Amino acid sequence: VEASCLSERAAVAALPVSKRLAMCRIFYDGTSDDAYSNFKPFRFAVGAVGFLKGEQFFHVAKAMLCNDLPSATQMLLTTGGPKLRSLGREVANYAQCGAGWENVDSGLLLLVCVVIKLAAVRPEQRAANARLQAELEDDGRAERLYIVEGAKDDCRCGIGIHADEPDVHERMGEWGRNQLGHACMAVARYVNARSELEARSAPASEPMGVATAQITGAHAAPTAPELTPARLCADARYERRTCGMHSSLLASVRTAVGAGATSLRTLCERLLKAMTQPNAAIVVAPPVGPPSCVATRGASPAVVVMWLLLDPLDIDSKQTTFVLRDAAAPDVLATLYKWCPHAHF
């Protein structure tokens, strides 16, 4: 896993800085993209022991490695990030037992991070952690997407540079080991492969009650049931990228959803007209279940499909852009990253 991820990072680093943005997903707690943060409250269990978030398991694993059961027990009763970190720094017997934890090359940090993400998307956790499942499926399908924890104070699990630093993509040569990012990449590809296998073996179901809008074009547009997030994610013809919604786009979608189906359909039509690609679609939908609105233009298959996922929290509202695979796909994905269409309205 480590060698493969580092090879992919080298390939991204060889690109011009202008193209790196679309090839990297940089997340961190407290930023607009924090889906993979170990501080997110995705509940899971390892055996009979339950955890409220990944950071809790991370420090418990460290304490158990060092045979410090009292600290591990206290960590199981603690959920706050600063307190967990404080307890982690005070683990007993670390000098005697912590060599594997201290040495990144041992693979122990990577293993712990992989366990955290895998445990959170086990079948019994899928309903509770549907958002994480959807994010991992998206990124697992994307080609050459390098996932990064932009942690300023951690160059082992992260890169040692904050996700919001304006020159973070220019400083790839300074990036740390990024063990959490690599774990997310490995689990994302596993989750996507598992989901595709399940999709092929399960009968397709068509959602009902979808508000649809078709913009006049030269050819018939694809029907709404074809443009569900699940089907798009399983469609090997598309390359995709996920990011947080631009604040202006998010505000428009939130207002339209609150105003009802007619307003949402009108907004989707306006968004579609702002896109430059002749064959395109806008889909507003949750991770699971039927879309709220689908607007299409042109022939099938759509060259570009934008899935807008609205969440009660702004930072968890996402834009996923699907582009048919060809030489121009990376440029289209870069252009539409955190899309701000309002200048075209």
Domain boundaries, the chain: 2-198, 207-344
For residue 343, name the pLDDT band (cuts at 50, 70, 90). Answer: low
In sequence order, what E strands does the chain have? 24-27, 44-46, 49-51, 146-149, 211-215, 238-244, 280-284, 293-297, 304-309, 318-324
Percent of the chain clearing pLDDT 90 (strictly above): 54
264 phi and psi angles, rounded to 5 deg: -65, -40
Strand 280-284 and strand 304-309: the pairing is: parallel
Give the pLDDT confidence of 164-184 residue by residue, as tens digits: 999 999 999 999 999 999 999
Helix (H, G, I), strand (E, B) or coil at 320: strand
Helix (H, G, I), strand (E, B) or coil at 310: coil
Burial degree of 190 (CB within 10 A; 0-12, 13-18, 19+): middle
Give the pLDDT confidence of 45-83 residue by residue, as tens digits: 988 899 999 999 999 999 999 999 999 999 999 988 889
Please name which of 248, 250, 249, 231 lies closest in space to residue 240, comparing C-alpha atoms: 231
Cα 259 to its chain centre, rounded Å, is: 28
Per-residue pLDDT at 157: 96
49 phi and psi angles, rounded to 5 deg: -100, 125
Assigned CATH class of 2-198 = mainly alpha
Is 50 exceeded by the pLDDT of residue 216?
no
Element (H, E) at 94: helix 94-97
Please name which of 307, 310, 311, 329 lies closest in space to residue 320, comparing C-alpha atoms: 307
Per-residue pLDDT at 229: 85
Q: How far apart are CA 67 and CA 72, in angstroms?
A: 9
